[in-house]
Amino acid sequence: MNYWLLRSEPDVYSIDDLKKEDVGMWEGCRNYTVRNFLRDRFKVGDLCFFYHSNIAPVGIIGIMEVVREAYPDPTQFDPKSEYYDPKADPANPRWLVVDVKFVKKFDKCVELSALKANPKLASMGVVMKGQRLSIMPVTDAEWTEVLRMTSED
The CB-of-86 to DNA minimum distance in angstroms stands at 10
Contact between 96 and DNA by CB under 7 A: the answer reads: no
Counting contacts by CB under 7 A, is residue 7 touching DNA? Answer: yes
The one among 2, 53, 118, 150 contacting DNA by CB under 7 A: 53
Candidates 30-38, 64-72, 99-107, 143-151: pick the segment binding DNA (CB under 7 A). Answer: 30-38
113 or 144: whose CB is closer to DNA? 113
Q: Does 123 bind DNA (CB under 7 A)?
A: no
Q: Of 19-27, 39-47, 70-78, 129-137, which segment contacts DNA by CB under 7 A?
A: 129-137
Given 60, 70, 126, 138, the residue binding DNA (CB under 7 A): 126
> Strands 3-8, 47-52: parallel, antiparallel or unpaired by DSSP?
parallel
- Member of 19, 30, 39, 120 binding DNA (CB under 7 A): 30
Buried/exposed 91-129: b ≥16 CB within 10 Å, e otherwise: eebebbbbbbbbeebbeebbbbebbeebeebeebbbbee
Residue 11 interacts with DNA (CB under 7 A)?
no
Q: How far is CA 46 from CA 4, 17, 79, 133, 144, in A?
A: 8, 20, 32, 18, 14
Query: Mask of contacts with DNA, 133-152, x by CB under 7 A?
Result: xx------------------
Backbone angles phi, psi at 128, to 5 degrees: -85, 140
Three-state SS for 14-71 is: CHHHHHHHCEEECCCCCCHHHHHHHHHCCCCCCEEEEEECCCCCCEEEEEEEEEEEEE
Query: In angstroms, rounded to a whole number, what is the distance separating the alpha carbons of residues 11 and 13?
Result: 6
Chain positions contacting DNA, by CB under 7 A: 7, 9, 30-33, 53-54, 58, 112-113, 116, 126, 129-134
